[in-house]
Structure formats: C-alpha cells, structure tokens
Amino acid sequence: MSQTHHATDETLMRYAAGTLAAAPAIVVKAHLASCPACRARVATYEALGGALLEDIEPTPLSATALNDVLALLDDEDDAAVAVPPPLAPVEIEGIRLPEALRGCDIGRWRWIGPGMKMSRVGVPQDPDANLILLKVGPGRALPDHGHVGTEFTYIVSGSFTDRFGTFRPGDLAEMDDDVEHQPVVDTDGECICLAAMEGRMRFKSVIGRMLQPIFGI
C-alpha cells in the first residue's frame, strides 16, 4: 500500500508530543500503521523532543523510587509467563477496521442519506470526542462543505476524489477551516472512512444543513 496523501508536519509534531486530541490522534495512528514515511517523521520529532528533555533541570527522585521500579519489573516478569490469547480483529459487520480503533465503542451503521451510512465511535478517554465511520456508496457525493476547525479523514477502503485529488486506502485527508470541498466516491465500489473533527462541518447547501442534525457533526 503506497500513500499519496499524508499528515502535515504540525499534526505529526502534535501527535509525537501527545498534544493532539484523542479522536484526531486515533485517525493519525491508523494512517501511521500503513505509512512508513510518516512513522519516520514522527520518530524524528520524538527524538527532538527527547533531546529537549535532556536540557531540562532534573527533578529529584523520591527515596523509594528504585524499589518501586524494581517491584514493577518483578510484576512484568510474572505477567510475561502467561501468553495472552491472540486479539480478535477490530470489525464492524465483518468489515476489518484499523487497529487504532481497538478499545473504542463502535456503534451500528445508521442511515444518514441515500447511499450513506454512519457509525459513531465512542472514545473511552474522551467521551466528547467527535469520531465517526462513514460508508458511502459508489458514485455518491457528500454534500459540499467546509469545516470549523480541522477535519482528519483516514480511508479504510475504497476511494474518493475531490479537488485535491484521489484518496485511496491508507491515505489521510487533513482539511482545515480554509477548505471547502465535495468528496465524490469513485464508481468502482463503496468507500469507508474514519473521520475526526476538531470542530464541526459547515454545509453550504440546504440539504446539507438539513442532514447536519443526523450527522451530529
């Protein structure tokens, strides 16, 4: 799988620093699993962060710090004896999903428009996170829209095209509030995407605005 569309440097720096919100971080993590180029960039930013930490004045350890660490290592040795069973794949109705969604609460598909279904994804560490799975039929167009904040979209399967090009499995579409676009699913099959919004979608058409309460985004 070769990716054409990637996360921005700013997003990868926020991810490496742990300051990216939970829902966008899950979408970026899904992309990183299939993109060696972005994984290398994250490793660089993590190394830079480590170098900066070396210049910070060290904090004195507690008197029991060494014993606490040794106790943790003993616990890990005990746990290593038992081999856990293999994890079941992350799926929705038999459709394989990114490992980044493991531990999330994946809702059932809900109809939101002709040829379109949505599954809301609950993020345990952030109940207010705005994370969805979107399934759109071949040749279908999403309503023309912009964004309040940044939208992060990972393509799980299928493909769509907008004015920025064609997005295929493994690609990451990152659209800020300066962007307005209308993704159209390619005709060779349905497209499933994982999307996170830092804000809300801004629909241009009357139909889009009517659908907004159904999207909930």
What is the per-residue pLDDT across 125-134, written as a single tens digit (0 to 9) for each?
999 999 999 9
pLDDT of residue 56: 58
Backbone angles phi, psi at 5, to 5 degrees: -115, 130
Alpha-carbon span 196 to 174, nearest angstrom: 10
Q: For residue range 173-206, what is the model confidence (pLDDT) as tens digits?
A: 998 877 787 899 999 999 999 999 876 665 555 4
Share of the chain above pLDDT 90, in %: 57
Q: Is the pLDDT of residue 213 over 70?
A: no
CA angle 44, 47, 52 (to 5 degrees): 130
Q: Is the pLDDT of residue 58 over 90?
A: no
Alpha-carbon span 208 to 183, nearest angstrom: 13
Q: Is the pLDDT of residue 140 over 80?
A: yes
Q: Distances in Å between the alpha carbon of 141 and those of 91, 110, 144, 162, 190?
A: 25, 18, 8, 10, 11
Tell me if 120 sits within 8 A of 107, measured CB to CB.
yes
* Domains within the chain, CATH numbers bracketed: 1-217 (2.60.120.10)
pLDDT of residue 180: 80
Is the pTM of the predicted complex or chain greater than 0.75? yes
Closest CA to 138 of 121, 114, 119: 114
Mean pLDDT calculated for residue range 114-119: 94
Q: Is 149 left (phi over 0), alpha (psi -120 to 50) or beta?
A: left
Tell me if 147 sits within 8 A of 173, measured CB to CB.
no
pLDDT of residue 67: 74
Q: For residue range 1-12, what is the model confidence (pLDDT) as tens digits?
A: 567 899 999 999
Alpha helices in the chain (DSSP H): 9-17, 22-34, 36-54, 65-81, 206-215
Mean pLDDT calculated for residue range 17-30: 96
pLDDT of residue 70: 72
| Distance from chain centroid for Cα 205 | 27
**Mean pLDDT, all residues of the chain:** 84
Closest CA to 126 of 215, 3, 34, 22: 22
Q: Is the pLDDT of residue 31 over 70?
A: yes
Which position has the higher pLDDT, 203 or 106?
106
Q: For residue range 147-175, what is the model confidence (pLDDT) as tens digits?
A: 677 899 999 999 999 989 999 999 999 98
pLDDT of residue 115: 94
What's the pLDDT band for 65 if we cut at 50, 70, 90?
low
Closest CA to 137 of 121, 120, 153, 157: 157
